[in-house]
Structure 1
Amino acid sequence: MHQLTPIKTVLLIDANSLIHRCFHALPPFTNPAGEPVGALYGIASILLKIVEQKKPDYAVALFDRPEPTFRKEKFAAYKAQRPKAADELIAQIITAHDLFAAFSIATIEVPGFEADDLIGTCATQFSKEKNLRVIILTGDLDSLQLVRDNHILVETFKKGISDTLIYDEAAVKDRYGITPTQLIDYKALVGDQSDNIPGVAGIGPKTAATILQTYGSLKNFFAHGQTDRAYEKIIAHKDDALLSQDLATIRTDAPISPALADLVCAPNWETVSSFFIQNGFASLTKRIPRDTTNHPTPAAPAPQKPHHRAAPAPSAQQTLLSASAAVKTAPPSAAPDAPTAILYNAKEVIKKSAQAGPIFDLMIAAQLLGIETSSWEDLSLTLFKKELPYDEFAPRAHKTLQENLARAGLADVFNQIETPLIPIIAAMETAGVLVDAAALKTVTADITAAIAAQEKTTKKLMRDSGAINLNSPKQLLDYFQNTMGLKIKSTSADALEKIATKNPS
């Protein structure tokens, strides 16, 4: 009995199309360095979902280039109606290469060719491989002409960037009434407003689909469609139709020939996490797959001249080891300046010790980068997708966070503001604030009595026997509306202040 060979998947990403879609679908926001990253956030979210759900074996992102393409040389008005790309968009297209690199996804771009042509070339080459399926991930429908059942599929978006749908040949036919290969002639007749492809004036989608259903192709229509009522109109604009056909055809012979071995999709999640942290994508770090394997993690090699010392991991009952243990000095051969203790929640350590010395607080650094963390174990899972032993976690986290603070332009904030404040706040919390307990009790009693008196007065004015709970917004709203006849929709402070002088009684 023959064992079936599993079908592998290669993911072809229409990079520019996705970036444009995310740029316009998501609100603009910036990373800690003030750089625009809204579109990058969208791409990152899409990649996390695709990699987790589709688990592609291979992946490559194809980019447009800014140079004129062969289409522009043939037709100067090609895409001429499009406004100049915003600087914020261009910056993110450039940085997107780093995002794909973080996911270990190769990128390809060729001057003179559009991403669609590179996709068409790759799809055609890879579709000839046995037991390999091609999925094209794109933000538009241009690639539908490439669809071939069981070999090439197109995944695009219904709306926004979350809901996707996959086009096979049947789905293309359901949408257009024709096959994927006929879409080229369809565009030759209808045109494409987004690319400024002219088509034939006066020929709409319904007429074009009917012609192709009847004659199979534009070539056959020219040869045998003389009796068709649309013939004269189309033949009069034959040059436009043929030009549009040429412009709409995705090339499959671009000068590239990528090897599958160079496109293996195996993201390094630590690298992905570092990119997310650098760009303020705190919510996305929680979606990174975690390493749940139980194999032991090899210890990091000890530096020959240690300068930073990690505090041992706290027990479940402890906040962290005392600062005195955490701030042991380095051996005489180490750097002459004092060693830095790598701590998590250094404030609590300092409160339990007379002196902590130079410190690097992992918790504060993470929070400054927008990472939500409740413990060092949680931070380890966020940064490295596994719970490392503390002695290994601390120096690795220190290096990762320090690098990302520098990239984000937050190193000075951390070193000159956040870190110096830690011992000050610890001292304040240790010293506390002196209060007069007897005076506080007296004030509390006075306020309680005043509230009770006010409630009694209010009940009397409301002629209420006690049925209404003054702490119930629902009961108060019902009283104001139905008993007092006031037009009020809320019992918020602002709403009550507006009706304070409108008592109808």
Structure 2
Amino acid sequence: MKGKVLLVDGFSILFRSFYAMPPNMTAPDGTHTNAVYGFLSILNKEVEEESPDHLAVAFDLPSPTFRHKLYPEYKGTRKPAPSEFTEQIPVLRSLLDQMGIPVVSAEGWEADDVLGSLAGQAEASGYEVRILSGDRDLLQTVTDSTVVVIPKTKGGQTVYEHYSPEDVQETYGVTPQAFIELKALMGDASDNVPGLPGVGEKTAQKILAQFGTIENAYAHVDELKPPKAAAAMRDGYDTLLLSKELVTIRRDAPVTFDEEAFRMGNIYTPEAYDSFKRLGFKSMLGRFGDVAVRSPSERKRAAEAGDPDSFLPYFEGKDIGVSAVFQDGAFYGACICSSDRSVFLPRRLGEDLLRRNIAEAVSRSSSAATVDAKGLLRWMRADVSPRMVDCVVAAYLLNPLKSDWNCESVASGFLNESIPAREEVLGKSVNMLTDPAAISDFALTEADVALRSAPLLLKSLEDAGMLPLFRDVEMPLTYVLASMESNGICASKDKLKEYSDKLGVRIADLTAEIYREAGQEFNINSPKQMGIVLFEKMGIQGAKRTKTGYSTAEDVLEKLAPDHPIVAHILEYRSCAKLKSTYADALADYIRKDGRIHTSFNQTITATGRLSSSDPNLQNIPMKDDMGRRIRKCFHPAEGCVFVDADYSQIELRVLAHMSGDENLINAYRQSKDIHRTTASQIFHVPFEEVTDQMRRNAKAVNFGIVYGISSFGLSQGLSISRKEADEFIDQYFRTYPRIKDFLDGLISSAKEKGYAESLYGRRRPIPELNAANYIQRSFGERAAMNSPIQGTAADIIKMAMNRVMRRLSADVPDAKMVLQIHDEILIECKEADADRVADILRTEMAAAADLKVELETDCHIGRDWYEAK
């Protein structure tokens, strides 16, 4: 063989990727990219796997083909492709052009015919051929030299099925040539090919096994079984022959296998690099090796090192961009630039001196833009007077579905420029002290991008009505988060070790008890072994089968636990094992020399506006059971201090009451009654005093479920009741609070019209899933449309509360420290003598954070560790 040719079915792979990849993947400018990203991922994988010498992609053209002339109804039942898909076709074709990958089409012919013709020509020229497609019609082209590769999703992963002639025979019971006959007999609903009525795959296989071809089967129609198939063939033989012609891939399309034009070169070109960055395909940039395209402004700017005192007057009253370079917590240099001047300041000038001077330069400027305000403020240890512009935070507000905003994506999304990623300039493991030019280059680029993108971002925020949210909520919050990250929270290694040991003892006891109840030992961490023990050997009813065996997911086991002690023990075992590995053992590694854990608070991750934390993630500290809550005993205040903890009470339900304007819900809160007991009284038609604990639990599930757009199925699963009962609960809920249903329906309608949901304070969450053809995706979009305004508003309120509390503490109790924010909870460390005063500040400022139709209430406690304060 002379080499290998890879031929790609462009439309088929693109369409498959559209439904296989998350629908909310977008470029920084909002262009949908999930199909293109998926296509490139599959192409990259196949190129790596096959190492082809030649490569081409075949695309259908929009004009009718010869099959439409034969049969006008051909593909007549297909719905138009979603606009989110069609807008990606020209994006992909442009990318392929930039990558030097030839695209082949032929007027009046389908891509299948183009692929079959090119494959035949390449094979005749002595090449091995690989056809990459999601269309099994192409299996008829398989030969000893041509293999069809079909991507398939299995277990959430993409796997690749390779079909040789033997594979086709084994899978479908026919040869590749007879696959044409099989498709003709079966018909094809997606292409509106009629086939033989009543004949499916198994019957078709039997017919072909006996007679070989359609024509031969018709010649022996009296012997054909079953009788219905014989009758159908007598009546519809002409249609069957038409079907055969329609499904037959032609090998004589007017295309040419051009060895030179199809020759595989370096597809990771500088032109493609620009587009990959612009589209946000960050994970693929490593394939480009040394390719790095710098912006024109970057090439013009030069680093200037000098006495920091000499540069301050130059930036007086100007708009500036600021960048500081850190690696593993260490400072390496900083840059300040304006429209006419840029200065790089290496750390050899003295970090303390630079810290003071940069803070003063920022204060003297008219505005200061950066791509990491939180990191800069944490380093400067100063509260600078003008409001800074964090371009990453601004970009996140404009597109919160993208969770990895950084300097490169801001540059590509808002300046339409490609800049090198951090690791491309600084390297992943290079000691940057030895390369001051790289540090200067990187700092200048970041400062320049911030300076030039800031006005564009601010204008976009103003046009979207989110400038007040950015100026008054998000930017002040960066100061708060910088302070919290610097503060950290004390944690005890000894108490974590003690907690871990207790968990270890409990895990050992549970293991022994589980083995005793099962009557044998098995791997409790193996779902397969556990499923066999529970559902086969012990005969527990209620098993749920999956493709890989029995499901032992938590929701399945929770339903069985009340009646089967072994299941309850398994659930407790899992909980204890997770607590031990994720928290008790892991958190000790995060305690620094100061005895405190300094988590990172992420402001630009969640689509709803909520904060998250990482390294370590303290947002998921368990709260459901006492064993989980005990982890909080390991967190303590500094010597002579206490914790003051305040938590909003049912903030999302209160937001729902306000936004819906439902008088019944509003009055229930104004009467200061137990809201869940009140709802239960209304739903179950019993006096308030006679509501049982079970009724209250059911009402609570409905109350909070409504906020998240829960379905009757979801409620029935959560409460272990029938769908009918769940429907009745929800219907009665909406009768009890009649304006809520109209309000939620209105949120869906508004989001469909606008393309996004909106919080009370203007925070937007795009919801492209509302227009998805897939029912599951569309249903998700509807739930998001209902809960995003409520969650987003709650997120806005807690952020405004944090800002208010921080201002009051700074003015009245400057020694107090805000150390954690988790969900609706704020934790303060202060001197014991100041605890009551701090508690009063928390109650007052959190209640005043928003003016709603119902009061915002907080639960506030003081304690000598986090457990006691909570």
Aligned mate of 1:199, from 190, 195, 213: 195
How far apart, in 1, do the equivalents of 2:459 and 2:346 lie?
19
TM-score (norm 2): 0.40
TM-score (norm 1): 0.66
* Structure 2 match to 1:248: 247
* Structure 1 match to 2:355: 351
Deviation of 1:167 (Å)? 0.5
Aligned mate of 2:61, from 43, 59, 65: 65
How far apart, in 2, do the equivalents of 1:200 and 1:397 lie?
69
Equivalent AA in structure 2 for residue 125 of structure 1: Q
* Structure 2 match to 1:24: 19
Question: CA 1:178 to 1:43, structure 2 compared with 1: closer, same or farther past 3 Å?
Answer: same
Contact 2:426 2:442 in 1 (8 A): no
* Structure 1 match to 2:118: 122
Bigger relative contact order, structure 1 or 2 (CA pairs below 8 A, ≥6 apart) = 1
Question: CA 1:144 to 1:136, structure 2 compared with 1: closer, same or farther past 3 Å?
Answer: same
Question: CA 1:271 to 1:395, structure 2 compared with 1: closer, same or farther past 3 Å?
Answer: farther
Contact 2:11 2:60 in 1 (8 A): yes
* Structure 1 match to 2:281: 281
Comparing 60-69 with 261-270, greater Cα deviation is found at 261-270
Aligned mate of 1:95, from 71, 82, 91: 91
* Structure 1 match to 2:424: 381
* Structure 2 match to 1:156: 150
* Structure 2 match to 1:452: none
Is 2:162 the counterpart of 1:169? no
How far apart, in 1, do the equivalents of 2:173 and 2:284 lie?
43
Q: Within 5 Å, give how 1:3-18 maps onto structure 2.
A: 7-18=2-13
* Structure 2 match to 1:332: none
Comparing 24-33 with 243-252, greater Cα deviation is found at 24-33
Aligned mate of 2:301, from 293, 305, 308: 308
For residue 186 of structure 1, give the secondary structure of its aligned residue in structure 2.
helix
Question: CA 1:273 to 1:379, structure 2 compared with 1: closer, same or farther past 3 Å?
Answer: farther
Question: CA 1:21 to 1:469, structure 2 compared with 1: closer, same or farther past 3 Å?
Answer: closer
Comparing 269-278 with 199-208, greater Cα deviation is found at 269-278
1:385-431 CA distances to partner (integer Å, 9 max, x unpaired)?
A: 999987589499959x969x98xx869789xx9xx9xxx99xx99xx
How far apart, in 2, do the equivalents of 1:360 and 1:272 lie?
29
How far apart, in 1, do the equivalents of 2:277 and 2:251 lie?
39
Question: CA 1:129 to 1:55, structure 2 compared with 1: closer, same or farther past 3 Å?
Answer: same
Contact 1:69 1:113 in 2 (8 A): yes
Deviation of 1:372 (Å)? 6.9
Question: CA 1:189 to 1:377, structure 2 compared with 1: closer, same or farther past 3 Å?
Answer: closer
Question: CA 1:117 to 1:412, structure 2 compared with 1: closer, same or farther past 3 Å?
Answer: farther
Question: CA 1:255 to 1:338, structure 2 compared with 1: closer, same or farther past 3 Å?
Answer: same
Equivalent AA in structure 1 for residue 49 of structure 2: Q
Deviation of 1:170 (Å)? 0.5
Q: Which segments of 5 or more consecutive residues in structure 1 lack a partner in the other structure?
A: 330-336, 434-443, 449-454, 456-467, 483-487
Q: How many residues align?
A: 426
Question: CA 1:262 to 1:34, structure 2 compared with 1: closer, same or farther past 3 Å?
Answer: same
Is 2:70 the counterpart of 1:74? yes
1:220-247 CA distances to partner (integer Å, 9 max, x unpaired)?
A: 3344565444555423311111110111
How far apart, in 1, do the equivalents of 2:287 and 2:115 lie?
28
How far apart, in 2, do the equivalents of 1:221 and 1:256 lie?
35
How far apart, in 2, do the equivalents of 1:289 and 1:344 lie?
32
How far apart, in 2, do the equivalents of 1:85 and 1:139 lie?
17
Aligned mate of 1:181, from 177, 187, 191: 177
How far apart, in 2, do the equivalents of 1:231 and 1:396 lie?
78
For residue 127 of structure 1, give the secondary structure of its aligned residue in structure 2.
helix
Equivalent AA in structure 1 for residue 58 of structure 2: L
Deviation of 1:378 (Å)? 6.8
Return the structure number with greater helix share: 2
Contact 1:319 1:349 in 2 (8 A): no
Contact 1:273 1:285 in 2 (8 A): no
How far apart, in 2, do the equivalents of 1:44 and 1:299 lie?
21
1:277-327 CA distances to partner (integer Å, 9 max, x unpaired)?
A: 212233x236x33649xxxx9999x99x97411479x9999844565xx97
How far apart, in 2, do the equivalents of 1:194 and 1:180 lie?
21
How far apart, in 2, do the equivalents of 1:306 and 1:492 lie?
51
How far apart, in 2, do the equivalents of 1:248 and 1:104 lie?
32
Deviation of 1:120 (Å)? 1.3
For residue 159 of structure 1, give the secondary structure of its aligned residue in structure 2.
strand
How far apart, in 2, do the equivalents of 1:341 and 1:181 lie?
71
Return the structure number with greater strand share: 2
Equivalent AA in structure 2 for residue 338 of structure 1: D
Is 2:133 the counterpart of 1:133? no
Deviation of 1:192 (Å)? 1.3
How far apart, in 2, do the equivalents of 1:121 and 1:17 lie?
17
Question: CA 1:476 to 1:306, structure 2 compared with 1: closer, same or farther past 3 Å?
Answer: closer
* Identity among equivalent pairs (%): 26
Equivalent AA in structure 2 for residue 11 of structure 1: L
Is 2:216 the counterpart of 1:220? yes
For residue 164 of structure 1, give the secondary structure of its aligned residue in structure 2.
strand
Is 2:145 the counterpart of 1:146? no
1:7-53 CA distances to partner (integer Å, 9 max, x unpaired)?
A: 52221111111121111122211221112112222122222222222
Contact 1:69 1:114 in 2 (8 A): yes
Question: CA 1:23 to 1:95, structure 2 compared with 1: closer, same or farther past 3 Å?
Answer: same
* Structure 2 match to 1:208: 204
For residue 5 of structure 2, give the secondary structure of its aligned residue in structure 1.
strand
* Structure 1 match to 2:52: 56
* Structure 1 match to 2:601: none
1:451-502 CA distances to partner (integer Å, 9 max, x unpaired)?
A: xxxx9xxxxxxxxxxxx96997899999xx99xxxxx97894465699xxx9
Contact 2:425 2:442 in 1 (8 A): no
Comparing 354-363 with 107-116, greater Cα deviation is found at 354-363
Contact 1:320 1:348 in 2 (8 A): no
Contact 2:345 2:354 in 1 (8 A): no
Contact 2:301 2:444 in 1 (8 A): no
Contact 1:13 1:61 in 2 (8 A): yes
How far apart, in 1, do the equivalents of 2:346 and 2:177 lie?
60
RMSD of aligned residue pairs (Cα, Å): 5.5
How far apart, in 1, do the equivalents of 2:90 and 2:252 lie?
26
Equivalent AA in structure 1 for residue 27 of structure 2: N
Q: Within 5 Å, give how 1:431-446 maps onto structure 2.
A: none
Is 2:186 the counterpart of 1:190? yes
Contact 2:425 2:438 in 1 (8 A): no
Equivalent AA in structure 2 for residue 86 of structure 1: P
How far apart, in 2, do the equivalents of 1:396 and 1:45 lie?
32
1:176-202 CA distances to partner (integer Å, 9 max, x unpaired)?
A: 111101111112211112211111113
How far apart, in 1, do the equivalents of 2:37 and 2:625 lie?
39
Equivalent AA in structure 1 for residue 191 of structure 2: D
How far apart, in 2, do the equivalents of 1:65 and 1:227 lie?
44
For residue 261 of structure 1, give the secondary structure of its aligned residue in structure 2.
coil
Equivalent AA in structure 1 for residue 95 of structure 2: L
Question: CA 1:306 to 1:181, structure 2 compared with 1: closer, same or farther past 3 Å?
Answer: closer
Contact 1:270 1:384 in 2 (8 A): no
For residue 260 of structure 2, give the secondary structure of its aligned residue in structure 1.
helix
Contact 1:198 1:240 in 2 (8 A): yes
Question: CA 1:285 to 1:273, structure 2 compared with 1: closer, same or farther past 3 Å?
Answer: farther
